[in-house]
Structure 1
């Protein structure tokens, strides 16, 4: 009999002001995989057929060894001596997460791929163990941890011993070989060490929602990282550490303290250096405040950008309209959404 299931993975926003590469927040835009396993079908390459709707539908590959989701799944399966999808698998991808906008689209894809392999291969991996596979591919734990575990999370990668360090720095092209490498490339890729990453879930005040202002242009993480300095002053690092220490507790308190949160979301590590990549960024971050816009708690760049994330308790449309107007002065059109934390993270739903 055919078997059907759904995998849902939330988008995520990383950094949240001072928490560069440290904190992430899962939010309520969901990547969905609608999967059907049908043993009666045959002749499909890698036993996997992909269909797609939503963001990126025109451009993203449909081949199992090229699409990030199914390439990730094949990597995990090969780590368990399974060369291809074990039975003909129809994967319908529904993706409403904007690509290249700082909302964790690639992190969600990696998480979805690992969960797909776990389900299709009946591997019985826990979420914690699945995170190890995610972190072999996505080396920054903030987005993938939020997407997998849900809620507002802090995370880090542990220091590994010398043998594990050899595995830790494996390039993406070797873990997920390109199709041109041939069917034997990556035949038995190295399994990740246990417990690469560690995380903790913070609380979140029930009143707080996130307004995502999403500009109509993409900004790659690589380009956004390229403008960051290699070294930081102790003064700037202390500035961020002090605020992050306050922010992770301030966002748990009800009612939220707007003045405390707004100041705690200031940053000197990544946002100042990315202003040249995002028209109007500096003015937006400085001009929209709790005093000028009641209901606002804090404002920041979402991940690598260009999306702006404004945390607020009410007055969402007014806050969004102000940011939209400032982007419009720079000739940038935007969409906007009010989002809530996705507390449970990635989900597997048997049908």
Structure 2
């Protein structure tokens, strides 16, 4: 039995649109077991995999391994290595506390977990850079994916690959499970990732800084959040963001942190102003909260595409959260809030014995 843990992540972090990400201490967790015994119902499961789920959004999660993003991703990894199904009989229990569609990297965590699942059950022993290649073939957001896989505070970029490779936004379901559906194996090998699709670099993070996530009770799809963005930007706005991101990746490592410098470095003109129509109270929250008005606050921004707000702070977490929650309450929207820390280890795989998680071995995928 294995336990796979993948942290949630916050992308963009103010001016770092599609560039920087932060792994945070809320974890998607898989319990994976394989047994050779068969029941009569197993013969009706050509993929040799059953899925159960607990956590947020349970009523909306598709447990069919052909359709579930996590198991589809694992199957993609397996079929790229000439393994056309899961080992018989594989059971995957997913426990997910990460809110769905809220800007905390739920899909990126699922994709990374799926890649690790395929790596484990297939006995592939892929190195971490290769795991990143597979994850980026399914989810082309390196800031979320690299943070979830490697952990910590990261900067990322995608290589300029061959036009055929770059045209592929994601691996279509038809290439992983060719039609007709039902797990029928045609023997086709899906597109194998090029090597070194993306790169990352970890930055230091000050031990005093915590991440306060205020999570409104509604979803914003990444597709909609991108549709509202312009296709061209002024030179002035691009320089504004470039100047600030150059400072931000350094000043977040300062101890003690400088509230005024961090607050200034977290300003953005590339994505947040254009998403105001999707997220009530966004302009007023960003414009009215600062280290001067709220002691302990260092900076505030959307987490990913939103609607979650990420407030970096050293203290007064409840007071800061209550202001944002009250702004949303005026719009008829409820929120929850959590104080999170950087997940420095990133994704981990632990081998356990029996049904009780007595750890024999831990693999930090170094």
What TM-score bracket applies, with the shorter chain setting the length? over 0.9
Indicate if the aligned counterparts of 2:6 and 2:113 stay in contact, CA closer than 8 A: yes
Distance 1:272 1:334, change over 3 A: same
Post-superposition shift, 1:87?
A: 2.4
Q: Determine whether 1:244 maps to 2:245.
A: yes
The whole-number CA distance in structure 2 between the counterparts of 1:89 and 1:99 is 25
Indicate if the aligned counterparts of 1:10 and 1:108 stay in contact, CA closer than 8 A: yes
- Match of residue 193 from structure 1: 194
Indicate if the aligned counterparts of 1:73 and 1:114 stay in contact, CA closer than 8 A: yes
Indicate if the aligned counterparts of 2:84 and 2:185 stay in contact, CA closer than 8 A: no
CA deviation string 1:317-344 (max 9, x = no partner): 0000111111111111100000000001
- Match of residue 350 from structure 1: 351
The whole-number CA distance in structure 1 between the counterparts of 2:82 and 2:305 is 36
CA deviation string 1:169-202 (max 9, x = no partner): 5553445457755624683101101110000000
The whole-number CA distance in structure 1 between the counterparts of 2:348 and 2:314 is 27
Indicate if the aligned counterparts of 2:157 and 2:198 stay in contact, CA closer than 8 A: yes
Distance 1:176 1:287, change over 3 A: farther
Distance 1:312 1:145, change over 3 A: same
Indicate if the aligned counterparts of 1:66 and 1:178 stay in contact, CA closer than 8 A: no
- Structure 1: gaps (5+ residues): none
Distance 1:169 1:107, change over 3 A: closer
The whole-number CA distance in structure 2 between the counterparts of 1:13 and 1:309 is 8
- Match of residue 358 from structure 2: none
Q: Determine whether 1:23 maps to 2:24.
A: no
The whole-number CA distance in structure 2 between the counterparts of 1:313 and 1:196 is 36
Query: Stretches of 4+ moved more than 4 A in 1?
Result: 162-166, 168-171, 174-182
- What does 1:60-139 align with in structure 2 at a 5 Å threshold? 60-139=61-140
Indicate if the aligned counterparts of 1:239 and 1:268 stay in contact, CA closer than 8 A: yes
Distance 1:37 1:330, change over 3 A: same
Q: Determine whether 1:40 maps to 2:41.
A: no
The whole-number CA distance in structure 1 between the counterparts of 2:145 and 2:186 is 26
Tell me, what secondary structure is at the counterpart of 2:53? strand
Tell me, what secondary structure is at the counterpart of 1:10? strand
- Match of residue 287 from structure 1: 288
- Match of residue 172 from structure 2: 172
The whole-number CA distance in structure 1 between the counterparts of 2:4 and 2:161 is 31
- Match of residue 261 from structure 2: 260
The whole-number CA distance in structure 1 between the counterparts of 2:20 and 2:48 is 37
CA deviation string 1:121-151 (max 9, x = no partner): 0001011100000000111211011000100
Indicate if the aligned counterparts of 1:83 and 1:187 stay in contact, CA closer than 8 A: no
Indicate if the aligned counterparts of 1:202 and 1:248 stay in contact, CA closer than 8 A: yes
The whole-number CA distance in structure 2 between the counterparts of 1:81 and 1:110 is 20
Distance 1:266 1:185, change over 3 A: farther
- Match of residue 11 from structure 1: 8
Tell me, what secondary structure is at the counterpart of 1:222? helix
**What is the RMSD of the two structures over their aligned residues, measured on CA atoms?**
1.5
The whole-number CA distance in structure 1 between the counterparts of 2:178 and 2:229 is 29
- Structure 2: gaps (5+ residues): 353-366
Matched residues, number: 347
The whole-number CA distance in structure 2 between the counterparts of 1:186 and 1:145 is 31
The whole-number CA distance in structure 1 between the counterparts of 2:243 and 2:186 is 47
Distance 1:237 1:84, change over 3 A: same
